[in-house]
Amino acid sequence: MTEQVINLKDFNLEELENYFSALGEPPYRARQVADWIFHKGAGSFADMTNLPSGLRGRLEHLASPGSLSILKRQVSSRGDTVKYLFGLHDGQAVESVLMHHSYGRSVCISTQVGCRMGCRLCASTLGGMVRSLSPGEMYDQVLAVQKDSGIRVSHIVLMGSGEPLDNYDSTVKFLRNVNAAYGLNIGFRHITLSTCGVVPRMQQLAGECFPLTLAVSLHAAENRLRDKLVPINRKYPLDILMQACLYYTGKTGRRITFEYALLSGVNDSPDQAERLAGLVQKIPCHINLIPFNPVGERQYKRSSPEKVKRFRSVLEQHGIEATVRRELGADIDAACGQLRRRAVLEKEL
């Protein structure tokens, strides 16, 4: 474990300006450093050749340009998915996934170490939440994936370990930095943020007016079942969640993506598809049906292809657009949290 120093990627440009002004440096230093850390992904201050050497030396002691170590890397048999386990400065670890699509390359990042939301379909929550990530630690995942793969990422998905809206301020700062001209300049339309339904924060996010895609992990269209699968439903049940979704679409003009993992004999009957169609009828949305990746500690099984087809056709009969998510990397512990979980169980962390 190394001693923690300030990760400069935890700042936005204004905060960098204040930081350098406190060091007695002119304001343009902040722009120079922002370009190095956010845009060029410099791994050390020594690389920042347009800074005076005295300043570079001071920064070596005071701050870190941020970096993660690669603890594990798994490549799927088809080569379309690479999963990373990254080590953080305090000995913790998080997962990120690089995925190749027809439309570009996306990286799915984590926003917390573990998660406290307790969703029954997810490995990330099995050991509870350890801590939230800083904005710089989120940003570093994107840069580390780019650096290792040599690939420029076009899309970002906040769907790894953690509930992004349970780490709201850091997540929003990360989003602004990654979208900024001094950063990776990734458009909000190329960013998807997934939530299990933290309603007050969904409303707050709507107020930011980022035109990103909000993905809501629904998994059930009736409260009794959703209370079990996604426990935050006990606090914010479906009618309140649907109002928040409607509010979000009204404020941002973006439709919601509802994530629905099909579990054999649990939520995959034609009746449940009818109920789902009724629930989302008034909301501009798209439904993503997910072939469930079994998690060792849970008893759920994935639905058969016939059941998935039937479920989708019921939705379509009601005019609701639904797609079945392309399976990526099932052979590499691709479900959220499985790689870190295995490392914890095998006492590698």
Residues 201-220 touching ligand SF4, rule: CB under 6 A, are: 217
Q: What is the widest separation between alpha-carbon atoms in the chain?
A: 70
- What the block records as the tokens of 39 is 């845009």
CB of 195 to ligand SF4, least distance (A): 7
Rounded to whole angstroms, the Cα distance separating 220 from 266 reads 9
- 25: annotated active-site residue: no
Nearer to ligand SF4, 122 or 144 (CB): 122
CB of 138 to ligand SF4, least distance (A): 14
Contact between 336 and ligand SF4 by CB under 6 A: the answer reads yes
Nearer to ligand SF4, 136 or 162 (CB): 162
Check if the beta carbon of residue 162 is closer than 8 Å to that of residue 115. yes
Contact between 161 and ligand SF4 by CB under 6 A: the answer reads yes
Contact between 162 and ligand SF4 by CB under 6 A: the answer reads yes
Rounded to whole angstroms, the Cα distance separating 80 from 92 reads 27
CB of 98 to ligand SF4, least distance (A): 19
Rounded to whole angstroms, the Cα distance separating 266 from 111 reads 29
User: Burial, 1: exposed, middle or buried (Cβ in 10 Å; 0-12, 13-18, 19+)?
Assistant: exposed
| Annotated active-site residue in 17, 25, 95, 163 | 95
Contact between 125 and ligand SF4 by CB under 6 A: the answer reads yes
Stretch that binds ligand SF4, among 4-12, 117-125, 168-176, 260-268 (CB under 6 A): 117-125
| Annotated active-site residue in 119, 245, 285, 336 | 336
Stretch that binds ligand SF4, among 43-51, 118-126, 218-226, 262-270 (CB under 6 A): 118-126
Rounded to whole angstroms, the Cα distance separating 282 from 249 reads 11
Stretch that binds ligand SF4, among 114-122, 168-176, 180-188, 266-274 (CB under 6 A): 114-122
* CA 161 to chain CA mean position, Å: 7
CB of 119 to ligand SF4, least distance (A): 3
- 95: annotated active-site residue: yes
Check if the beta carbon of residue 305 is closer than 8 Å to that of residue 128. no
Contact between 196 and ligand SF4 by CB under 6 A: the answer reads yes
Candidates 163, 174, 193, 328: give the one binding ligand SF4 (CB under 6 A): 163
CB of 116 to ligand SF4, least distance (A): 7
Nearer to ligand SF4, 33 or 122 (CB): 122
Candidates 124, 134, 167, 267: give the one binding ligand SF4 (CB under 6 A): 124
Check if the beta carbon of residue 161 is closer than 8 Å to that of residue 340. yes
Q: Is the dihedral of CA 230, 231, 234, 236 positive or negative?
A: negative
In residues, how long is the chain?
A: 349
According to DSSP, the β-strands at 256-262 and 285-291 are parallel
Question: Helix or strand or coil: residue 79?
Answer: coil
According to DSSP, the β-strands at 129-132 and 112-114 are antiparallel
Helix/strand number for the chain, H first, E second: 11, 14
Check if the beta carbon of residue 139 is closer than 8 Å to that of residue 177. yes
CB of 163 to ligand SF4, least distance (A): 4
Contact between 97 and ligand SF4 by CB under 6 A: the answer reads no
- What the block records as the tokens of 78 is 């088809």
Candidates 98, 99, 115, 242: give the one binding ligand SF4 (CB under 6 A): 115
**Catalytic residue IDs:** 95, 336
- The residues of the shown chain that bind ligand SF4, judged by CB under 6 A, are 115, 117, 119, 122, 124-125, 161-163, 196, 217, 336
